Structure 1
Amino acid sequence: MVIKDKKKIMLVIFIAALLLRIIFIIGIGVVVKNPLLKEDFEYGVIARSLIKTGRYSAPILEVSGRGEPKKETHNYRPTGNQLPFYPLVLAMVYSISSNQLSFWVVTFLQAIISALTCIVIYLIGLKLFNRKAAMIAGIISVIYPLFLIHTARIVPETFFTFWLSLTALHLLLLKDVPSLKHQLISGILLGITLLNSNVIVPVIPFIGIWLFWLAGTWKEKVKRVLLVMATAFLIVSPWVIRNYIVFKEFPLMKTTSGINLCLGNNPRATGTFFLPTGEPMEDLILTEAWYKGHALSETKQDKILYDEAMVYVKENPQHYARLILKRFYYFTWFPPDNLLSKEGRLYKKLFKIPYGFILMSSAIGITLFLKRNSRDTFLLCAIILSVVALYSIFIVGHVRYRMPIEPYMIIFSAYTINAIFEKTSAHYFKRGQE
């Protein structure tokens, strides 16, 4: 009976989430005429290159210096500025249809993935807490504005959020049933997640600690950690090997660490992509040498900015420390309006109240659950804080970058809401007995 009820709840969550997302996608596609909505950014550039050239590459940008508009040439160079999962998904869709239909196919696919993420959030809540808290988490995820909006955008966060949450769920399943099957599945999912985004690289040591924390002999613990990590590495190894063959070195999954570090740490750095005047940071910060570096490989071009940023950080440690604190605040809350794009300011207005509630209630939930289950609180908090720390070190970008950690904030928020309901119900029941 319990299993049947669980399946019914999962089905209801999925259908409700999917319908809401499809209605939103159709509505926003018809009402909003902003071409940015259908922009596929660098992900689409790589996808079209895959179709056109058969290689994971991007057109070389022809520029001679700062201030000159970037012009795409017909020459391509190998790229590693985006992880392969999302561009490959786009390439598969675009190879079938290159017209407006492709936009609808991608967004409807993202609606399905987002609806499945709601089920995963429910299952994590059920695994950690109880049925009521899990249902609250599921309901919040169904209607959460950030999840809705980004199903209608050609950006990778919907997929990344799904794979990361599925990895977290299977790690929790592994805790109760530490079988070879669950260890392999957890490693495979972790590897797929890494092929979506490298921002979870700092989480990996903490996952290893958590796996070692589980019950078992020392030998079993070591074997468990090694098997999960080795499986994950096996999944990402084709990408790592490809990058070494192409670039003759091992970039940290992507070739963008230098540009992000430089944009976030320079004399005029604000912590975001924008200057206080509203101008894009890159228009004034990127050096002549970097622009001329378009003739080089991506790794060599990126190293120019990485070296510049490291020199600045070493010479200005106090400013760097202030920037870290500023970025921590901006990432966990919102930057001021003058450091946001027009789109970012709109999102801030839309998300401020729902996100503010989730932020406060999740902090309470973490505190409450820490006393009950410190080990699993450690795992979810490690995911949250590692991602926050990474953006605090580099640069705070779009609000969507926070999306992959919000499922865990929603889960802890649901725990707080359920605790309040239970306490209130117990209070009124006690009064009724008097």
Structure 2
Amino acid sequence: MPLLKLTEKKYLILLFLFACTLSFGLNFAREKYAFHKPFLFWGEDVYRNLINDEHWYAWPARALLEGHGLHTIDINFYRLPEEMLARPDLSFKHKESSYYYFNLVPPLYPIFLAACFFLFKINTISYLIPQIIIASLSSVLIYYLAKEIFSKNIAVLSSLIVACYPDLIFWTNKIRTETLFIFFIILSFLLIIKGVNSSKRSLIYFGSIIYGLGCLTRVTLVPFIPFIFIWVFYVYKENQIKKPLVSAIMLGIICLTLLPWAVRNYVLFDKFSPLSDEASSSLVYERNITTLNTKKSIFAVAVSVIKYNSKEFFYLSGKRFIAFWSPVTPIMKPFAKVYKSITWLLLFPIAFYGMYLSVRKSEKSGLLLIFIIYYSLMHGFSLLDEGLVYRYPIQPYISIFAAYAFFYLLDSRRKPNEQ
């Protein structure tokens, strides 16, 4: 029985408009009435009100607009610039005056932000509206992804959940990568899964380009490349002889997408690497080693950390893993604890059941399951922010599995009544 009588096109248009309106309205209400802060900032006030990691995206965007080059930063934004330059976990190379090339974060989001500021001037609206549009498009993509893997009913419900998900809504008002990053992941997974299911190699290859762009938005996607390669190799069934070739071309396209950034890092920092310094956050015991200033690969250093600090490493990893799947953490504000607890109770328990069911019933969902497991383990083994922002990228897939379990239970109740 269809969940909605609307045509697919009408539903998706309404979904997009609903998601945009809800996101703008809730962000306005939260800033104005929950936090009692101005909703909009203009010009220099945007920079005066940056918090935490926002500095590492907003200042490079400004430097690019002012003609100081790609991925440079004015170190005077920091209270003690000399102290920052001396940090062994950060890579800098002087360009001119107080501007330095750096490699703490990947380049794509600062470029996106610079484009927003160039087109709409420096103000909150210039990035809020594009990010609301991107987040709303993500809910549309979730519809297509859930439909490709499961069914139309599950697609409708999961897309509505994503459109209404408070974490994903409120983050559109931040100068942070997650909104763009989540969009790239969903789109790449949709194209690759659809390409595998339909044996259309062009979709797989286009999805690989999008996946590469995701890697240039957040470095956490890079270690997942072998898993997506293995999944495509295992599931692709058009031609057993061509299977290795398709997987290899997909891998090559991703690598080619990352190549310019790796070359840039080689030229500036003498290390051929697509990784950024944030990858060194995984080295919880060797913070003085970054991706670009160690002779060993970051993976080799991580192995040595585990080998020589195994007990403490696994103890801390276990704590982070539990926190990753927890509803809230102690540092969260009361307002956040309320809405995060409610969404967790509504979605996560039933999503766990949906993941269990999908292991037995759907090979198509395998890539999403592997990604969820990978992402939770990776942040358990490396770094987890206590605001649980690092969990946001898997929450659209949690929504899909929650919808899957809901309809499974609903159908299970209907069948005995029909007999």
User: Equivalent of 1:55, from 70, 89, 103?
Assistant: 70
| CA shift in 2, pair 1:44/1:230, >3 Å | same
* 1:217 to 2:239 alignment: yes
- Unpaired runs of at least 5, structure 2: 39-47, 76-80, 88-95
User: Equivalent of 1:130, from 151, 164, 189?
Assistant: 151
Q: Is the 8 A contact 1:203 1:386 kept in 2?
A: yes
Deviations 1:119-159 (A, max 9, x none): 11111111111121111101111111111111111111011
* 1:359 to 2:348 alignment: yes
Identify which range, 403-412 or 375-384, moves more after superposition. Answer: 375-384
* Amino-acid identity (%): 22
User: Equivalent of 1:321, from 303, 314, 319?
Assistant: 314
Displacement of 1:55 = 3.5
Give 2:30's aligned residue: 28
User: Equivalent of 1:149, from 170, 184, 188?
Assistant: 170
Distance 2:100 2:285 in 1: 28
Q: Is the 8 A contact 1:257 1:306 kept in 2?
A: no
Distance 1:351 1:89 in 2: 29
TM-score with structure 2 length normalisation? 0.83
Structure 1 counterpart of 2:390, one-letter code: Y
User: Equivalent of 2:382, from 390, 394, 398?
Assistant: 394
Q: Is the 8 A contact 1:157 1:403 kept in 2?
A: yes
Structure 2 counterpart of 1:16, one-letter code: F
* 1:44 to 2:55 alignment: no
| CA shift in 2, pair 1:48/1:185, >3 Å | same
Q: Is the 8 A contact 2:199 2:237 kept in 1?
A: no
Distance 1:30 1:155 in 2: 21
User: Equivalent of 2:275, from 246, 250, 253?
Assistant: 253
Give 2:91's aligned residue: none
Identify which range, 168-177 or 56-65, moves more after superposition. Answer: 56-65
Q: Is the 8 A contact 2:219 2:279 kept in 1?
A: no
Q: Is the 8 A contact 1:117 1:162 kept in 2?
A: yes
Q: Could you say what secondary structure the match of 1:78 adopts?
A: strand
Q: Is the 8 A contact 1:265 1:309 kept in 2?
A: no
Displacement of 1:418 = 0.9
TM-score with structure 1 length normalisation? 0.80
Give 1:160's aligned residue: 181
Q: Is the 8 A contact 1:37 1:153 kept in 2?
A: no
Give 1:379's aligned residue: 367
**RCO comparison, higher one (Cα < 8 Å, 6+):** 1
User: Equivalent of 1:179, from 195, 200, 211?
Assistant: 200
Structure 2 counterpart of 1:229, one-letter code: L
Structure 1 counterpart of 2:355, one-letter code: I
Q: Could you say what secondary structure the match of 2:176 adopts?
A: coil
Deviations 1:277-297 (A, max 9, x none): xxxxxxxxx7xxx6xx9xxx9
Structure 2 counterpart of 1:41, one-letter code: H
State the aligned residue count: 387
Deviations 1:243-280 (A, max 9, x none): 1111110345211233x235x448xxxxxxxxxxxxxx
Give 2:411's aligned residue: 422
Q: Is the 8 A contact 2:74 2:98 kept in 1?
A: yes
Distance 1:332 1:254 in 2: 26
| CA shift in 2, pair 1:420/1:223, >3 Å | same
Deviations 1:339-373 (A, max 9, x none): x3x55x64333202212332211111111122122
* 1:203 to 2:215 alignment: no
Structure 2 counterpart of 1:399, one-letter code: L
Distance 1:126 1:80 in 2: 39
- Unpaired runs of at least 5, structure 1: 67-72, 267-285
Displacement of 1:166 = 0.7
Identify which range, 39-48 or 144-153, moves more after superposition. Answer: 39-48
| CA shift in 2, pair 1:209/1:312, >3 Å | closer
Q: In angstroms, what is the RMSD of aligned CA positions? A: 3.1
Distance 1:189 1:8 in 2: 27
Displacement of 1:189 = 1.2
Displacement of 1:202 = 2.4
Distance 1:176 1:308 in 2: 38
Distance 1:206 1:124 in 2: 19
Distance 2:130 2:49 in 1: 16
Q: Could you say what secondary structure the match of 1:370 adopts?
A: helix
Q: Could you say what secondary structure the match of 1:218 adopts?
A: coil
